[in-house]
Amino acid sequence: MHLPPNRKRALSTAALVAIYLAVVYLLPRPETVKPEGWRLLGLFAATIAGLVLQPIPGGALVLIAIGLCALLAGLPMATALSGFADPVVWLVLTAFFISAALIKTGLARRIALQFVRLFGRTSLGVCYSLGFTDLVLGFIIPSAGARSGGVVLPIVRSVAQLYGSEPGPTAGLIGSFLMAGVYQAICVTSATLLTAQASNAIAAKMAGQFLHYPIDWSSWFRAGIVPGLVSLAVIPWVVYRLYPPQVRRTPEASDFARRQLADMGPMGLQEYIVCAVFAAVCAAWIFTKLDASLPALLGAAVLLVTGVLKWPEVIRDHAAWDVFIWYGGLFEMARALGDAGVTRAFANLVGTQLAAYGPATLFVVALLTYYFAHYGFASITAHTLAMYPAFAAVMLAKGVPPGLTAFSLACFGNLCAGLTHYGTTPAPMFFAQGYVPLGTWWRIGLVTSVVNLAVWSTIGFAWWHWLGIW
C-alpha cells in the first residue's frame, strides 16, 4: 500500500521521535554515560533510522540533528560542526567533482565500452567487462550510484536489448543474468577500494578513532586488491551457474561497443586532461604519503582551471554537496558518541554477554551478525555508522587484532549489500529494470554472499596476515 507523501512523511517523523524517546527514557542508561551522552545516542539512533525512512532528504535531516545535538545533548556548536573540516570529508567531496568530469567528458563511458569491445564476446565476458569497468572507475568515483547507475547500467540495458531481451518472457535470454551478475560485482568493487563507496571513508576514520589503527587509501588498496580480484573473478561465474543466460556467445556486444566508440570519435583535449588528472591523483594516493584529500583537491583544482569543470556545475552538483552535509555531520556525531563513552559502554555490555567465548569464536559470531544484519539496512552508510563502532569495540576488548577487526568490518560491510534488492543505492536501480524476480534476487544474493564470505575469510585473511595486518 502506497501512502500519500504527506502522510508518509508525518508517520516517518513520528517514528523518529518515538525512537529518540525510547532510547532516552526506556533504555537503561549505564552509570558511566552522562544524560547528555544518552540523549546524543537517542539523536544518533533517530538520525540513522531517518536515513532509512527518509521523511526528508538525508542532508537536511543531518543538519537538523546537528542543531539538536547542541540543544539537547550539550554538544558545543564548534564541535558539532567540526566534522565539516575533516580532510576525509573533503576527500569524498572532491572525488565527486572529479567523477563528474569523468562522466561529463564521456571518458567513463569510453572506458566501459573499451572493456566490452575487448572482452564482451560471451555473456560471461560482458559481465566481467562491466565488473572490471566498475573497479577502474571505483579508483576515483566514490558514488556507486553514479558509477554503476550512470555509466554501467545503461550499457547493461543496451546489450540486453541487442538480443531482444526485455523484462518479461525474454528476460532470460541475457538481461536477467547481466543485471544480477553485474550488480553483485559492484558490491565487490565497493569493498576493494576506499574510494569506491562514500561510507568507506567513514569506516577508515572509525578504525583510527576506535581501534587506533589508521587506514589510508594505499593501505586499503593493498588489503583489498587480492581478495577483491579473486571475488570479481569468481562471483560472475557463480551467478552464471545459478542463473544461466540462454544466449552464451555475444559477438554483437563487442561490435556494439566498437560502433559506439567510433561514434564517440577520438579522445578530445578535455578527456586527455581528465585522464591525466585521474592517473596523477591515483599515483599520488599509491606512491606518496600525502594526505589523500590533498591530491584530490589539487586534481579538482586543475579541472576548474582548465575549464573541464565550470564552477556553476560544481555548485549544482547536488549529490556531492548532499554527501558532504550528511557525511560531515554524522561523522562528528559518531565521534561524539565515542567521546561520551557510549560505544565503550555497549562493548562492555556485549562483552559480558559473550564472556564465555574466546577471541576466535567471538570474532566469527560478531562478524556474521554484523554481516547478516544488513537485511535490516537499506544503506551501507547507515549500517556502518550504526554498527561499526560498537562491534569494533567488542572485538578489540576481547583481543581480536585491531587490523583484522578494522578491515573485516570495513570490507564485509560492503559485500553484504549484495544480500537484498535494497542493500545499497545501485540495488533498486538494477532491480527496478524488471529482469530478475524478487525471490531469485534474494537467492542469488544469499549464495554470492556466502561465496564472498568464503573468499575474503580465507584468501583475504591469509593475504592480510602476509601483509602484517594481523
C-alpha cell at 57: 532528504
Mean pLDDT of 213-241: 95
Sign of the Cα torsion 461, 465, 467, 468 reads: positive
Write down the residue that cell numbers 534474494 correspond to.
442
pLDDT at 347: 65
Q: Where are the domains of the chain?
A: 87-319
pLDDT at 25: 93
CA 251 – CA 348 distance, rounded (Å) = 59
User: 10 Å Cβ neighbour count for 432?
Assistant: 11
- 176: pLDDT confidence band, cut at 50, 70 and 90? very high
Q: So what's the pLDDT on residue 3?
A: 65
Compute how many other C-beta atoms are within 10 angstroms of the C-beta atom of residue 164. 11
Q: How far apart are CA 136 and CA 132, in angstroms?
A: 6
pLDDT of residue 355: 62
Residue written as grid cell 552508510: 381
What is the share, in percent, of the chain residues with pLDDT greater than 70?
96
CA distance 430 to 301: 34
Average pLDDT, the chain: 87
Q: What is the pLDDT of residues 334-380, one digit of tens each?
A: 778 878 888 677 766 766 676 677 888 889 988 998 899 888 777 78
Answer with the residue of higher pLDDT: 250 or 378. Answer: 250
Q: Is the pLDDT score of 390 beyond 60? A: yes
- Does the pLDDT value for residue 399 go beyond 90? no
Q: Give residue 350's pLDDT.
A: 65
Q: Is 358 exposed, middle or buried (0-12, 13-18, 19+ CB in 10 A)?
A: exposed
Which amino acid would we find at residue 41?
L
- Residues 157-181 have a mean pLDDT of 89
DSSP string over 215-269:
--HHHHHHHHHHHHHHHHHHHHHHHHHHS--S--B-HHHHHHHHHHHHHH-S--H
Is 1's pLDDT higher than 60? no
pLDDT tens digit sequence for 34-92:
999 999 989 988 987 887 788 888 888 989 999 999 999 888 998 889 888 888 788 77
Asked whether the predicted pLDDT for residue 124 surpasses 60, the reply is: yes
394 pLDDT above the threshold of 60:
yes
pLDDT in the model for residue 290: 82
Ranking 42-46, 56-60, 125-129, 440-444 by mean pLDDT, the lowest is 56-60
The answer to whether residue 450 scores a pLDDT higher than 90 is yes
3-state secondary structure of 437: coil
CB atoms within 10 A of CB 218: 16
Is pTM, for the whole model, over 0.75?
A: yes
Distances 391 to 85, 350, 363 between C-alpha atoms, Å:
27, 9, 9
For cell 544474493, what's the residue? Answer: 445
* Interval 87-107: pLDDT, tens: 878 877 887 788 788 888 888
What would the pLDDT profile of 264-311 be if each residue is shown by its tens digit? 999 999 999 998 998 898 888 878 878 878 888 999 999 999 999 999
CA distance 79 to 329: 10
CA dihedral for 291, 204, 463, 111, sign (positive or negative): negative
